[in-house]
Amino acid sequence: MSGHSNPAATPTMGFILQHQSLSDGSLQITIYPAPTTVQPTTDAARVVSEIGMMLQGARVVLLGSNIIDTDSRLLAWIFVVARACGRRGVSLSCESMPERITRQIGLALSVPERAGARRTQRVEPLLSVIGRTAVGIYADLQDWLSFVGELLVALWSFFRRNARVPVGDIWKIVDECGPGALPIVTLISTLVGVILAFIGAQQLRQFGAQIFVANLVSVAMLREMGAVMAGVIMAGRTGAAFAAQLGTMQVNEEIDALKTFGISPMQYLVIPRVIALVVMMPLLCLYADTLGIVGGAVVSSLTLDISLVQYFNQAATAVHLSDVWLGVFKSCVFGVLIAIAGCLSGIRCGRSASAVGVAVTSAVVSGIVAIVLSDALFAFMTELAGV
């Protein structure tokens, strides 16, 4: 049996392969155990490419009578070669392989591959992606509107004193939302005021108008940044906590138990959290406003040679009571949106641990997006109203 041999033996998966093309167009592959000094590599792609260039009716002969130890890697390699031979119409001969290997390969090939079992990489068309995204947004909007409607009905029952609302839980949640959030609100709000002061100082120094840094910081904190930063912090902290708590209750079927006893989850679980956030968000907003203005005062006194008295006098002339009330009203709206996002994600949670993680992520993202969108709407409306 004449032919030519590949001069370089190729290591693969704990075994050495030696290829030999025979005169009748067949391919002979001899498999040797790899020595410990050789680093095995995968060679299935090369063998498959050689099989793809063979004529139909040719043969691939596997020789491996000297193989003693086998593992699943060698079997998987032979299986890949056998599949390639089947697709090309090339016969595979494994008679010279150990009996245990031929028996296992024959068993694996005796069952045809189920249609659709193989995972295929399919590129989804752009229009399909846009349509699926639009349908998802529409479904989310429906969930929000439905949840808001249920919440309004439950609040109406609460104000008429016909709802089962645990008042004690309201004060407990208020304690968790308010005092527990003071450290992070203190840090973020002070740094925001410092950043605004530095940015304003760099620009106003060119015109010798450093004193107007007080106007910039005080107006920005009272109208926008105080409420927005407090809202973002509470969305990441309290909104996520609400989603995790209600999601865990959903997994443990506690919400189903409440429904079984005739207790509305909206009244018993959602209303206390909404009221707690509506109560605490204005206070946190005012606290954030104060710290942001103080942070700007520190920067102005240290870098701009503006005394604290000058800074606060200038700030008092720049702000109006309407600025304070606008920020407070925004914070109330943000509190409602954060509570709705957290509670909706928790109650709509699935029945697994991973679903709780998805619900927490959805609550944070939905809360922050709702805050930004509503703040943009407020900016547009106040511009039209001249406030």
Per-residue pLDDT of the chain (387 residues; tens, 9 = 90+): 444 444 444 444 466 666 677 777 777 777 766 665 555 544 677 777 777 777 777 777 777 766 656 667 777 777 777 777 777 777 777 766 777 777 777 777 776 666 666 666 677 788 888 999 999 889 888 888 898 898 898 888 888 888 788 888 888 888 888 888 899 999 999 999 999 998 888 888 888 888 888 899 999 999 989 999 999 999 998 999 999 999 999 888 888 898 888 888 888 889 999 999 999 999 999 999 999 999 999 988 888 888 889 889 988 988 889 889 999 999 999 999 999 999 999 988 888 888 898 999 999 999 999 999 999 999 999 888 887
Are 360 and 226 contained in the same domain?
yes
Rounding to the nearest 10 degrees, give the CA dihedral for residues 85, 86, 89, 92.
50
Are 148 and 183 contained in the same domain?
yes
Are 345 and 245 contained in the same domain?
yes
Q: What is the CATH number of the domain that holds 14?
A: 3.30.750
Are 97 and 12 contained in the same domain?
yes
The parent domain of residue 67 ranges over 3-110
Are 203 and 308 contained in the same domain?
yes
Q: What is the pLDDT of residue 4?
A: 44
Are 150 and 277 contained in the same domain?
yes
Q: Is residue 123 part of a domain?
A: no
Q: Is residue 125 part of a domain?
A: no
Q: What is the pLDDT of residue 121?
A: 66
Q: Is residue 60 part of a domain?
A: yes
Contacts of 153 (CB under 8 A, 6+ apart): 266
Are 138 and 104 contained in the same domain?
no
Q: Is residue 117 part of a domain?
A: no
Q: Is residue 124 part of a domain?
A: no
Q: What is the pLDDT of residue 113?
A: 65
Are 150 and 253 contained in the same domain?
yes
Q: How far is CA 372 from CA 209, 236, 240, in A?
A: 31, 14, 17
Q: Which residues, in sequence order, are bridge partners of residue 31?
A: 17
Are 26 and 153 contained in the same domain?
no
Q: Is residue 157 part of a domain?
A: yes
Q: What is the pLDDT of residue 9?
A: 44
- Say if residue 274 is exposed, middle or buried (CB neighbours under 10 Å; 0-12, 13-18, 19+): buried
Q: How far is CA 369 from CA 37, 197, 261, in A?
A: 58, 27, 36
Query: In the chain, how many domains are there?
Result: 2
Are 144 and 102 contained in the same domain?
no
Are 91 and 152 contained in the same domain?
no
Alpha-carbon span 108 to 90, nearest angstrom: 18
Q: What is the pLDDT of residue 34?
A: 64
Q: Is residue 121 part of a domain?
A: no
Q: What is the pTM of this model?
A: 0.68
Are 284 and 160 contained in the same domain?
yes
